[in-house]
Amino acid sequence: MTTPRSIDGIDAGLLRALTLSPRAATVSLAEQIGVSRNTVHARLNRWDDLGALRGFDRRIDPGFLGYPLRAYVFTQVEQRLLHAVSASLAGVPEVIAVDGLSGGDDLLVQVVARDADDLYRVAGQILDIRGVERTRTALVMRELVDFRLAQLLPGSTSAS
């Protein structure tokens, strides 16, 4: 997790431009926000060094890959085995994200599956991991708001 930083107008403009076009060239970004290429380059390098920028890969729809079902598996684990459970989950191809939680459940495991039988298999595979005590599975029926961050930038006038 990166440390919160204050963001000036140039940062906000550059981050907004990156949100709209993550693979834009430095020169193009500089032109869009009205600063020099060196300014853009320096800020991008600083953000990389701070770990503030995540990958620029395009998000692939799992359905395109043959995995139209998405579900969340709420998982309770034996606390002393949390790291081992996390490592085992990383070895399950259908696991696309894992978040640690506070509260009654320890992990929120996002999975994809080809169909209901495949989801049953994946959920069983998670339950078979040493240290997993209990799971509850919730099927994603529809994505209502896609992942977004641009609306958090200073000067944003609407949700993106």
Verdict on whether the full-model pTM lies above 0.85: no
What is the per-residue pLDDT across 103-156, written as a single tens digit (0 to 9) for each?
999 999 999 999 999 999 999 999 999 999 999 999 999 999 988 888 888 877
Domains delineated in the chain: 9-57 (1.10.10.10), 62-139 (3.30.70.920)
Provide DSSP, the chain: -PPP----HHHHHHHHHHHH-TT--HHHHHHHHTS-HHHHHHHHHHHHHHT-----PPPPPGGGGT--EEEEEEEEE-GGGHHHHHHHHHT-TTEEEEEE-SSS-SEEEEEEESSHHHHHHHHHHHHTSTTEEEEEEEE-----S----GGGSTT--S--
Predicted local distance difference test score (pLDDT) of residue 159: 44
